[in-house]
Amino acid sequence: MKKLLPLLFLSLCVSCDIPTDGMSQNGRKSAPTKTKIDFQGNTIVLPQGYLLISAEEFENRIESIADSSKFKKMAKQELEKVKNRKVEYQLFIDPNNSKNFVFVYTRNYVEFDEFIAQKYVSNLNKELKRESNKQRIKYRRIHGRYFFTNTSKIVKLKYIKAVKQEQKFQTEYLISSQSGGMGLLVSNTQNIDFETSVKGLAMR
């Protein structure tokens, strides 16, 4: 009987599925319930679990979307825009829906005030209209805002890009903080812009 006990214990251990840290039982990396973006001394916490991925993996995930060839192309163009800036950037994607993603990148520092912010929103709005016309996608501005916190000054432009019955909500943030300039693009199908998270930007 005593000899059987170790064998029984070993059998139980072999039959148990014990996921490793950050891994699901099927072996795939699982997303956290929140996402902490650490970028150039700034920290932004998103209330949803997004994964930090490489540009190559981003393109592979976008390509795996079953439909929406127009939006696949648009997502790849957004990536190219960031790459062409020749600056540091990070890419985050929703593991449950690859149409939802967040880009963060370095940009020039601008000393925003209400007048300058209004000018930036107007120029960005015109640029996005021209871009949408080339893409043959409908564009509609939702709103533009300027606000500031204890650590940063922020310009926001929220808009919709649509093809037939399908639409994507996108929000551009231009952020000037004590550590420099930063840009944030939020793109998803659920009308989520993470404004509260951006307002909660903290400095390390």
Sign of torsion over alpha carbons 87, 92, 184, 42:
negative
In the structure encoding, which two tokens stand for residue 193, read together?
Answer: 């812009």
Q: Which two tokens stand for residue 101?
A: 């993603």
Residues of the chain with pLDDT under 70: 1-32, 68, 204
Percent of the chain's residues with pLDDT above 70: 83
Q: Where do the structural domains in the chain lie, given as residue ranges?
A: 29-203
pTM: 0.82
**Roughly what angle, to the nearest 10 degrees, separates helices 69-84 and 114-135?**
130
Largest CA distance in the chain: 84
Closest CA to 41 of 180, 141, 185, 157: 180
What's the CA gap between 2 and 41, in Å, rounded? 59
Q: 102-143, pLDDT tens digit by residue? A: 999 999 999 999 999 999 999 999 999 999 999 889 999 999
Tell me the three state secondary structure of residue 174.
strand
pLDDT at residue number 155: 97
Q: Which of 156, 168, 163 is nearest to 192 (CA)?
A: 168
Q: Which residue has the tokens 């970028």?
A: 39
Output the six-digit token pair for 161.
Answer: 């890009």
180: which residues sit within 8 A by CB, 6+ positions away?
Answer: 40, 41, 106, 109
pLDDT given at position 31: 52
Q: Which CATH number fits domain 29-203: 3.40.190.10, 1.10.10.10, 3.40.1000.10, 3.20.20.80?
A: 3.40.1000.10
